[in-house]
Chains A and B, each alone.
Chain A
Amino acid sequence: MSMIEFRDVQKYYGKFHALKDINLEIDKGETVVLIGPSGSGKSTLARTVNGLETIQEGQLIVNGHDIADRKTDINRIRTDVGMVFQHFNLYQNKNVLENVMLAPRIVLKLDETENKKRAMDILDQVGLADKAENMPSQISGGQAQRVAIARSLAMRPKCMLFDEPTSALDPEMIDDVLRVIKYVTSQSDMTSLIVTHEMGFAQEVANRVIFMDQGQILADDETSKFFENPSNPRAKQFLSKIIKH
């Protein structure tokens, strides 16, 4: 059963063809890592899944609903699809606990005591229960990203999108964040799409690796196959460059 399905999707920014003939199926419970050089369209692809970017042609089915269909209630879909950004985007005017509790309160209309209990549990899982009362400006980047993940999880999503979640972090912060993401993806019913440059991490968590360049999907391989012998020469070249460092 597929959670996300792209059917002949095209995306343009004006005349620029950002996503070309995208066909992709991600099953429920799968963890898929998306890699490729910058400007290849991987972030754009992830952002189409929850409607932050619109598509111009084709169909994009998320959890059984066509995103491109005007009749689809995009807010309803977004409650099932969590998103984690490169720059965290914590609500700057709310403290850590409120960041986690706000959407469940006003979107899901969750009971306040239940909401608080859930929020504290999730913050505990990401190791930040003691920062609940802090403002976003008072915590580090790695902590902020874990709060951002907690904020998404509080909606109990069926699917998570990670858009370069560690690219803006100091090296020593990355591990804590990756550990949390790994924990999230390990839950059997969670579907994840991760855009990342962390190859070791990709190897560890992904069921499949997708390689993109210039708006196209060039390779879609099982993780072990991708890292040993990718099906596309351009992907092979990309890997050899990255692994050298």
Chain B
Amino acid sequence: MIKLFVDNWSQFLTGFGWTLLSSVLALFFSLILGSFFAILEVIPNKFARIVGNVYVEIFRNIPLLVITMFFYLVIPMYVVKINGFAAGTIGLTIYTSAFIAETVRAGINSVDVGQMEASRSNGMTYVQAMRYIVLPQAFKYVIPPLGNQFVNLVKNSSVLAFVAGFDLMYQGNSIASTTFETVNTYFVVAIFYLIITLPISYYMQHLERKIV
């Protein structure tokens, strides 16, 4: 296994780099997009709620691979040419954002309604009440499930292998098919995934302890 890594280190590291980049980008944008749709789902406006709901239900219930293929094959045909890495990262972002929206929405809903009522009675606007009172408390509730979503996101980034995204899984497939050392190759691939996911798990646990 060590020999396999030494012989193919540059390919592994390239894959690791693309996986890491894709994960970081998808994490950042899915958090923003997910929080945005979560807020649409809770604000007292029927139209916003419907928009948020439709978005979440559509993208949560379609396989990630199908969303990714859509961006890889359909979008370049009609709109703009994008490569496999971009298609995979966009697919990953949208898919994960639907789950993050549900997580954040649940967090907001688990804050006692009395907190909002007290804030409003105190003269705050809806936005002020959300910003100073409800969201900070919701954030506390969503840290553990959000950590799960982040770990899932990193693992799901292996979808890039299907659309030539040059990620870890893609490089692993390529090394396995040239060296025929299937078992060892995927062992190394698994270790690289752990290098990203374990620190996330650990950091989230730490954050949870610190805040709660």
Chain A positions within 8 Å of B, measured between CB atoms, are 50, 52, 75, 78-79, 81-83, 85, 87, 89-94, 102-103, 106-108, 148, 151-152, 155
Contact = CB atoms under 8 A, between A and B. Distances in A.
Interface residues of B, number: 18
Nearest to A92: B137
Given A92-B137, A93-B136, A85 B118 contact: yes
Interface string B117-132: 1111111110010001
Contact of B124 (A50, A52, A75, A94): A75
Contact of A93 (B117, B128, B133): B133
Given A87-B114, A89-B112, A89-B114, A78 B121 contact: yes
B148 interface: no
Given A93-B133, A93-B136, A82 B118 contact: no
A78 B115 contact: no
Nearest to A87: B114
5 contacts: A52-B120, A93-B136, A94-B133, A103-B124, A148-B118
B121 A91 contact: no
A106 B124 CA distance: 8
Contacts of B112: 89
Interface string B152-195: 00000000000000000000000000000000000000000000
Kindly name the residue among B120, B122, B128, B133 whose own CB sees the greatest number of chain A CB atoms within 10 A. Answer: B122
A108 B122 CA distance: 11
